[in-house]
Amino acid sequence: DKPVVELFIWGYCPYGVQAQGPMAEVAPLLGDSADFKAILYYDGHGAFETQENKIQECIQQIAPEKYWDYAADFVKNIYPVCSQTRDIDCDKTEAVKLMNSLGIDSNAVLSCVESQGESLLSEASARAKELGVTGSPTVIINGVKANVDRTADAYKTAVCVAFNNAPEECSAQLDSTAATASGSC
């Protein structure tokens, strides 16, 4: 009755970012009817990615209702800049600015990063291993891998198929112009 949707990504994986943007359109649309979670399970690009993974995991702990707004703006505004510099200070500065602009308590998030960040990443990694996730992005709906294009409409359709009784929001048309490229980190 309430599908569980898990998006497994690395914070700075370009392919994961291709998935995160469209999923950030679907999650608010169906969020009252389904459970959406981003699982930031690996950090193959360095310390700046480790930090961003912790930030995003902590936002989901502290301000889950604002996470997908953060994710959408991360894709548009932080990723293009900080993925080029690969700089941990760039990531932190831009993340704090974005959190503050969205009304997310950045001090609480950064405190969570320090106190719970490692354990949250360990939990995310364990969840990925449990489900056999080997690449970013991977979408799991109710424990089953969904192989769909990386568009908002394709994600919405995949989630809506999982309902016993699909909500009326499933009839909404979403933009499908996002990247449908394949590939993973």
User: Mean pLDDT, the chain, as a whole number?
Assistant: 93
Q: What share of the chain has pLDDT > 90, as a percent?
A: 87
pLDDT band at 31 (very low <50, low <70, confident <90, very high): confident
Instruction: Quick: pLDDT tens for 129-183.
Output: 999 999 999 999 999 999 988 899 999 999 999 999 999 999 988 776 655 567 7
User: Average of pLDDT values for 70-93?
Assistant: 96
- Are the beta carbons of 10 and 41 closer than 8 angstroms? yes
95 in helix, strand or coil? Answer: helix
- Are the beta carbons of 58 and 116 closer than 8 angstroms? yes
Q: Count of CB atoms within 10 A of residue 179's CB?
A: 16
Q: What is the structure's pLDDT at 125?
A: 97
Instruction: Quick: pLDDT tens for 96-127.
Output: 999 999 999 999 999 999 999 999 999 999 99
Q: Is the pLDDT of residue 57 over 60?
A: yes
Of the CA atoms within 13 Å of residue 167, those in its CB half-sphere come to 13
Question: Which string of b and e fits 62-100 if b means at least 16 CB within 10 Å?
Answer: bbeebbbbbbbbbbeebbeebbeeebbebbbebbbebbe
